[in-house]
Each structure stands twice: as C-alpha cells, then as structure tokens.
Structure 1
C-alpha cells in the first residue's frame, strides 16, 4: 500500500487526505495545533458568563458561487441523513455603509431592467460614486472580461489593481468604495499590492455570481465551522483509516537534493524523523519558507519561490450580544472603516445551534478586520500597534460610526456581553500586538511566477496549499482544495496506484465572450494593447454607459 505523510491539517491537508483515503491510500496527517482545519476551524471562546464556552472563529466563512472543488468535497462528507454540503445556506442581502449613509443590496439575480440598474449601481460603489466614475469602472471590467489568458498572465500580473482602475485619478469615494470595497473586505486583497490578474479574475467571478441564476452568490454555514464541517470531516476521514497527529509540528524537511528523504517533527517535545513514500505539504506560507534548505530547493526548485510571496492579515473578533441584532440577512461592508471591517450576524443562520447553554447571550456578531496597517478613529493607531482591549474598543467605535440608528440599521456597543479575538494574534510584554500566527497569502504584483506547482520536480513531494498555482487563483479554501486534488493526481500518476484521478474544474465566464478573448490573444501576440486600455481623460464612453446608473 502507498503511504503518504500530509504535513499540515488545514483545508489543503484535509482535502488531500480525503482524496487519498477514498482511494485506499494510507495517510497520516501531522498538524502543529490541537485542532484540525487551519484558518477555517472554530474554537472554544470565552465562558465567563455562560455554562459552556461560546463558539469562536478565525473569521466568518464565505462560499461564493464560483467555489466548485471544496463544495464537491463537502458533498462527500456524511452529516446526519445527508452531507456537510446541506449545512450551507444562502444569504439574500449585503449591507453597505459609510460614515454618512447605509444602503442594502440584494444578492438575488435581478429580474427587471430597473433591478439590474439598481444592482449594478450598488455593486459599483452605490449612491456615493458618480455615474461617470461608475461608467469608467465598468469599462475596466469590460476590458478584463475580454482579456486573453496570455495577456492576464504576461501583462496584467505585473500591474496592481489600484493602477489598473486609475484609483489615483479618481475621487475619494471611488477609491474607498470601489478600489477597496470587495477586494480588501471579502478576499483580503490589498488593492495597491494585488495583481490585476488575480483581482480581475475573482472580481469577474463575484459579479457573475450576482447575475447568474445557476449560481448562489453568497453561501454561509448554518453553525460554527468545526461543528458543521471540520469535525464531521475528520470523523469521516478517521473512518477511512486516516491517522491524525495533532500537536506535532514539522521542524525540518530533509532532502538529498533529488527527493525528500524524511521529515522531522516535534512529537510531544521529542524530535523524530518520519518517513513515507510521498509527502504532501499543506503548511502555511511562512512555515514552508522557514523550512527551505539548499537541498530542498535543488530537489523542488519551484518551492524556493515562496520566499518572494507576500502575506497580509485578515483576522476575526466575535462579539456576544445581550440582544440579537440581525443587521442584514448576509454580510456587512463598512467603506469608511479604516480597518476594513466586515460583519455577519450569525444567529439568523445558525438555526441548529443551541443558545440555551449561554445565559444572557442572544446573538453573535462576527467581525473581520482586513486592514491592520492604517490608524483607527479612537486611538489613531493601526491595529498592529494596539492592545487587545484597544482593538475591541476601536472595532466597536467603527461599527457604531457606520450603524447609526437614524440612518437605518442601528448598533450599540452597550449590547456586548462578552467578546473574543482570534488567538492567532499574539501580544508582547507591553500588551501590544507583536505577531500573527496565521496570516494570509496575497497575490501581489508579479507573484504568479513565484508560486509553486502542486506537483513539484521532486518525485515524492507535492504542495496542497492556497499559495500553489491553481485555476481558482485566490488565497482561499477553494484554491487549497484544488491544489490538494492536483497534488493527489500527481501521487497517483507517479505511484501507478490504480484509482481514478480527482476531478478538476475551471473558472468559467459567459461563452459569448470567448471570441473576443481569442481576438485579444492575437492582438497581444502582435504586441498591441487591449482596445479598452485607455485612460479616463481620453475615453469617450461615459455618456453611453452613464445611463446605466
């Protein structure tokens, strides 16, 4: 029997273990923490005011319509009389708020011309961005839609999203609502650093989810992530024979310059070397970078590129409320929040979760902080320089600034009974932030060439992470799952193990634009710019598109 060691028990590692175990391969998963699931896991929160610990998350889960790999895996994890996939529920709205106003966008596909115009206007900055600027942004989207893959990889991977949409030439609200907006709040992409190739491809997928009846634009889980996904997943994998080794961090990957010869782990304070026929790396970016050696880089040159990849912080804070506040049936985006916060009120979706064990707690507001580098509104300090209590106070102040009752939905910090900050954020002796154990990879300008292939040149080493090269592209659960499938397919091919390869999907766009993409491919090969690549000062299409808004 083929034996595989999976290094890391996050979504990538668990996905690889799943595909291998279902094909009869012997799998052992080595995880540094005490719980499987990586950044997707949930964990026990505070219990000072209730009988049992409250549930807490690294950040809220978000399953957009273009996810296909991870949802296929979820459909194969038993849960009650169905599968874990049944635990995904659809949101219907997005709350968008600035310091001056609030507006709500439906996530349902519009059925009338008026509905289409409203949805498009809301997507492109809402009432605070001018028609001219929305029209120009739509021109940029049109260029992305008709770009060839060759131009995306060869030209637009070297251009930042900020530069591509001419953010410096536009108004403050254009920059705040469109340049940041979805990019920073939902997918942890920083627009000044993010590659247009990545940002553009994902933006198109998110837009397609809003207007394609065959896709759900925004799904969330109906309970704490570990309860309704990760724990049932590990239980199922154990039934298939997967051996889980928590609290066993990898300390070295040994190589002779051609293949991996063994992996050093810390097993309860004792260093030992484990061996297997094949190794799957599901480790965070910074961890793999710390394990690079000249011998490993010689055996698998593509992994050397991880030292050139960038990370950002996107971490959660949970507020446990004395009164449940729905806010909106979905996510909330706060455009004037200097810390780029987003929210979701959980109780309305956690229909199977029993709140009776938590006396005095009637609701949970999950908040993600996506910008840890800019000063806040209370202490005039970035989150990276704050204490734990200052982070709590600052986030609440930014929420209250956007959620004044006289502008629509109201929220008061007085409702908070307890709270929990993601324990991945660490603090120094002076009480201020000194690190983040779980940052996110971001697809910065020029990063494509540095991302490792899931199947490395080392015959017995593969990579199953969200920073590997995939069609899914983004640093997310979908990309980690796809990379895991590609890693498993490489192991199956290299070992001659008799089993069907894992299924893979492509990101799709409307078939009607394929011809235009082929035309652009010829134009790009000829060395010419895309026909839509013009600046806002010379483009004459404003009047034609302005009527949409």
Structure 2
C-alpha cells in the first residue's frame, strides 16, 4: 500500500525520535507554515543530512530524515557500552577525533546557529595550541608543513619561499631537496584555477613533487607528511589539485589569512555532548522528524522525477515514502547501490560514482590511568607505518573530570588515535592493520607510538586501562582480515568530473555528502556541510522559492597572487608551463 509522507504519523511512531521544545534566539526565526511542494525527505543522518535538514526547516520546508544506523555519522561519539559505573556515563569512543582547522567556514557557521546553554555550539570550539610532529627511534622531532607559528611574512613569492624554507628546514631532508619541494609548492600556489583542474587534477601528488627520485626523508616527511598525516590521502594516487589545495589552505591558515578562527580547533566535550545532541534537539524543536533504522533501497521514478523512496528496516520489511524533494545524504559506497537503472537513465552522469575510490581511516581510543600530556594539540607520528595521528582529550574538556564523569573512576585521560594507513606492515606483527585482529591493532598502534619516544615514553606499561576501536571495523576470522563499514572517500587522480554536483538532472533529486563537488574538494565534515548547502540552494532555485539562499564560502585566494595567476591563465591557454615551473 502506497503511503504518502505523513509527518503526524511519523512523529507519533516508535521509530521516530520525539520532538523537543522549539528554541528561539538562534537561526532564522520562527519557521513559517510549510506550503504545498515543500515536503522534503533527507536520506542519511550524518553531517550532510543534518545540515540539509537544518537549512530546509529554517526555510519553511517540512523535513523528515531517515537514518539506518547512528545519528551524526562518522562525526559522532560512540559510547563504550557497559563501561560506566556508579552513576558515571560510559567512556566516550569515536570513529576518529574531530579537527576544525581555521579555514573551515561552513561547519563553524552552522555550529553558531545551534543553541547550547546560554550560548551556541560554536562556543564549544577551543584552540589547540601546540601541534607536534614526532620522529621514530633516535631521530630529532620535526616541524612539518601545516601546523606551527605564524611566519609573519608578506604574501609574495620571495617572502613565501623564505618562510617555507625556514619552516621546513633542519629536519633531515637534504637542503637541495627542500628547495625543490618549496619550488613545487610555489608552482602550485601561483597556478590558475584552469591549470589546477586541467593539468594538476591529472597528476598524482607523488609525481608532482618528484618523490620517486628523492631521499627517504623527503618522501616520508614532505611528500607523505601532508597527504597521509593531515588529509589521510595516499600520495601516490591522490590528485595534486586536491592535495595542493589543502596544502595551500594550511599555508594561509598558519598565516591567519582568510580564517574563521584559530588555526587548529577541537571540541571541549565529547562530540555528541558538544554538538550532535544539541543539534538534533534544535532541529526537533523546529519540527524536523527523525526516523531511525531505515535505509534507502531504491527510488521510484515517473515523468522524469523521483516519486517515492523505498526504505527497508533491519528486518528487511520495506515501506514506501513519497515527497516533493529527495536529498541523498549517504556516503558514496551506500549511495551507489540506490542509483538503479531507472535513475541512471534520467542522469547517466551519476554512473561516475562507480569510479570513485574509498580507503580506510579509522580511530582507536586508549583510556589511560594517568595523564600523558605532551602538548595541547595534535600529534603526528611521522615514522609510524600506519600513519598515526593523535590527541589527548582531557586537557580540552574543562567542564569534565574524566574519572568523575565517565567509566569506573579509574580513567583520567583519553588518547584518541587515527590510523590512516591500513595497508602497510606494522613493526610488532609485520602485518597490515587490515590483517590484524582488534587486539593486535591495539597492541601494534601502541608499539608504533612508543617508538616515537618524545611521547611514547609517557606511555609506560600499565597506563592503559582499556581501549575502544570503532565498531565499524570487524574481524572476519575465516578470511583472516577485517571488514570496514565506514570507509572514507579518497580523491584519486582525474576523478573530479566523476563526482556529481549537488544538483542532478533529476529535478527533485539532490546529492550531498563528502563525495560531491565542493570548493574544499576533500572528504571532510566541511565538504559534507558545504555540499548540503548547495543541495538546499538547488531546491530553492528549482522551487522558485523566495527564501534566503544558504550562505556558502570559498577557500581563501590571496589578492597578492592575482597578477601571477592571471599571467598563468594566459600561459595555460597558450599551452605553456607555469612561470615558476622550471623543472
């Protein structure tokens, strides 16, 4: 039996999350009554889905969000079930720690429109003041491109060259190789947009910086230091356009140019407490209906449009939901199976999603019996085969005493570690993470951290109370390897045109998620948020709505390089190299 989307029924059903009280003072004021043609279904309750719901509900649409598993997606906290005793909450695990660089604009702007106590969720962003890049064995610790002091240099080619050479020098990279790397960065920074898309999109970062012909320190610290440790991409297959854009963003970030806030920000509470829960409370109060345990199976089409979404519960029972607008807000690997032949016939370009690649970047948390404070910021373990980055969280949670508020009273700090390379052999078991049991992963990560003695020496035997690995990673004993329910999109060479825009050729089907074309061009919370804003603006345009368009931001483009980029645009049109590309 066909069922028209009935919000009253959904709001009263056991599958829906109940509505909260409306919150005033933040956002766009009271929502006006929805008019015909304003029923919107959002399919996915992660960063993209919650952003789309936020922007739609504030513009008078009636919004229902369907999510098969957990609200908040990869950004959420994940309680370590059964660990809380004596009235304390369960220890907070997570897919990976949250990182909000200063060049993020979309996510912080959304956060400032979510009430939290007498302020907003945006107030829960705090500066991380001391990033560290640590070396293994007896190597001296490094400072690598991306996190560091303000170089206080004028934005000119010579000024930037001096700044980058000073910043990157003295870390075991031969001087002539360092000069070469900086010159390659300058080539990219002065390249016009047309060259970036037409030339550098088709070249891997590894080839662009000539890593294959250079020393191991060059490869490890410079070529891979940015890709694996800062943006979790593989330098041999990642697009130069994507990695270069991020490198550029980090350069201007440390200069304070175009930033939304501090260059490195984190949350002052577990993510759900600081952000996801208040967000959902706000959206419920505005009238958003949340339905859990329902995944999209397929779309029905007629007359060139989507007429209904067919959903399935965990038991396999299906239901059919009609609406005026359908916003896909799922990860790419989950969106692909829903784009069946009837949809692809309407928009053949969506077949490009099948060419996109995903990889693994998953976190593990160590709950510590003693503090292990080295720095109030992120740590990168440069020589770790598994490309580890980490953060100790207790120092940032000023309103929480971990031993008082979580677990059994013995845990005093939390070391949250991201594992970015699941394919390289480890130092303890000689196997990649994909082929290690959960226990072996926990032991291997500790061994790799302890090999970096500056921090590793703060982790003596017995300090670890327990650990938590993202439950999306599951050991398959029969296959002798892990599966992963939450992979991450990786921007490989020449795939920009394979990725969809938010607006599709199906007028009432919009795409959102970190795989959609966005200005930040990376699988991040920021990209997912931006994509949802574009999706909502497409709905507003298609429906000829008079509502205010959703604000979007562009990555910072320094005016000091405008003349050089204009000259490069002409050179590129003439088929010539960038002016600084003398290699």
The TM-score range, normalised by the shorter chain, is over 0.9
Residue equivalent to 1:394: 444
Q: Distance in 2 between matches of 1:238 and 1:361?
A: 34
Asked if 1:273 corresponds to 2:308, the answer is no
Q: Aligned with 1:254: secondary structure?
A: strand
Q: Distance in 2 between matches of 1:411 and 1:334?
A: 14
Asked if 1:451 corresponds to 2:451, the answer is no
* Residues 158-204 of structure 1: per-residue CA shift (max 9 Å, x gap): 00000000001111011001111122122111111110011101110
Q: Distance in 1 between matches of 2:484 and 2:67?
A: 18
Residue equivalent to 1:539: none
Q: Which moved more, 1:524-533 or 1:358-367?
A: 524-533
Residue equivalent to 2:223: 179
Of 66, 80, 91, the residue aligned with 1:45 is 80
Of 474, 479, 487, the residue aligned with 1:439 is 487
* Residues 462-517 of structure 1: per-residue CA shift (max 9 Å, x gap): 01111101111111011111111110011011112220110111111211101110
Q: Aligned with 2:219: secondary structure?
A: helix
Residue equivalent to 2:411: 361
* Residues 449-469 of structure 1: per-residue CA shift (max 9 Å, x gap): 100010101000001111101
Q: Distance in 2 between matches of 1:183 and 1:142?
A: 17
Q: Which moved more, 1:93-102 or 1:450-459?
A: 93-102
Q: Distance in 2 between matches of 1:350 and 1:126?
A: 35
Matches within 5 A, 1:14-33: 14-33=50-69
Q: Aligned with 1:127: secondary structure?
A: coil
Conservation of the 8 A alpha-carbon contact between 1:95 and 1:102: no
Residue equivalent to 1:370: 420
Matches within 5 A, 1:421-440: 421-430=469-478, 432-440=480-488
Residue equivalent to 1:263: 309
* Residues 84-136 of structure 1: per-residue CA shift (max 9 Å, x gap): 111001111111111123537573424599x9999745853752212222211
Matches within 5 A, 1:124-273: 124=168, 127-212=171-256, 215=259, 216-256=262-302, 258-267=304-313, 269=315, 270-273=317-320
Q: Distance in 1 between matches of 2:527 and 2:194?
A: 21
* Residues 42-61 of structure 1: per-residue CA shift (max 9 Å, x gap): 11015447543100110001
Residue equivalent to 1:543: none
Matches within 5 A, 1:292-371: 292-355=339-402, 356-357=404-405, 358=407, 359-371=409-421
Q: Which moved more, 1:249-258 or 1:24-33?
A: 249-258
- Against the structure 1 CA distance between its residues 209 and 404, is the aligned structure 2 distance closer, same or farther, given a 3 Å change threshold? closer
Please provide the CA RMSD for this pair: 2.1
Instruction: Note the residue ranges of structure 2 that are not aligned, 5 or more in a row.
Output: 1-34
Q: Which moved more, 1:418-427 or 1:126-135?
A: 126-135
Conservation of the 8 A alpha-carbon contact between 2:258 and 2:556: no
Conservation of the 8 A alpha-carbon contact between 2:161 and 2:186: no
Residue 257 of structure 1: how far off its partner (Å): 7.6
* Residues 61-92 of structure 1: per-residue CA shift (max 9 Å, x gap): 11111111111111100011111111001111
Q: Distance in 2 between matches of 1:277 and 1:92?
A: 47
Residue equivalent to 1:544: none
Conservation of the 8 A alpha-carbon contact between 1:256 and 1:295: no
Q: Distance in 2 between matches of 1:273 and 1:413?
A: 55
Instruction: Note the residue ranges of structure 1 that are not aligned, 5 or more in a row.
Output: 536-549
Residue 147 of structure 1: how far off its partner (Å): 0.4
Q: Distance in 1 between matches of 2:187 and 2:303?
A: 45
Residue equivalent to 1:54: 91
Q: Distance in 2 between matches of 1:343 and 1:49?
A: 24
* Residues 353-380 of structure 1: per-residue CA shift (max 9 Å, x gap): 2420331101100000000001000111
Residue 243 of structure 1: how far off its partner (Å): 0.3
Asked if 1:86 corresponds to 2:134, the answer is no
Asked if 1:75 corresponds to 2:112, the answer is yes
- Against the structure 1 CA distance between its residues 129 and 440, is the aligned structure 2 distance closer, same or farther, given a 3 Å change threshold? same
Q: Distance in 2 between matches of 1:305 and 1:112?
A: 42
Asked if 1:107 corresponds to 2:151, the answer is no
- Against the structure 1 CA distance between its residues 352 and 370, is the aligned structure 2 distance closer, same or farther, given a 3 Å change threshold? same
Q: Aligned with 2:294: secondary structure?
A: coil
Residue 352 of structure 1: how far off its partner (Å): 1.8
Q: Aligned with 1:137: secondary structure?
A: helix
- Against the structure 1 CA distance between its residues 137 and 388, is the aligned structure 2 distance closer, same or farther, given a 3 Å change threshold? same
Residue 301 of structure 1: how far off its partner (Å): 2.7
Residue 302 of structure 1: how far off its partner (Å): 2.9
- Against the structure 1 CA distance between its residues 238 and 295, is the aligned structure 2 distance closer, same or farther, given a 3 Å change threshold? same
Q: Aligned with 1:478: secondary structure?
A: helix
Task: Tell me the matched-pair count.
Answer: 531
Residue equivalent to 2:42: 6
- Against the structure 1 CA distance between its residues 67 and 324, is the aligned structure 2 distance closer, same or farther, given a 3 Å change threshold? same
Conservation of the 8 A alpha-carbon contact between 2:97 and 2:363: yes
- Against the structure 1 CA distance between its residues 97 and 116, is the aligned structure 2 distance closer, same or farther, given a 3 Å change threshold? farther
Q: Aligned with 1:392: secondary structure?
A: helix
Q: Aligned with 2:63: secondary structure?
A: strand
Q: Which moved more, 1:165-174 or 1:100-109?
A: 100-109
- TM-score when scaled to structure 2? 0.87
Conservation of the 8 A alpha-carbon contact between 1:347 and 1:363: yes
Q: Distance in 1 between matches of 2:330 and 2:224?
A: 29
Residue 324 of structure 1: how far off its partner (Å): 1.1
Conservation of the 8 A alpha-carbon contact between 2:83 and 2:91: no
- Against the structure 1 CA distance between its residues 87 and 122, is the aligned structure 2 distance closer, same or farther, given a 3 Å change threshold? farther
Asked if 1:529 corresponds to 2:577, the answer is yes
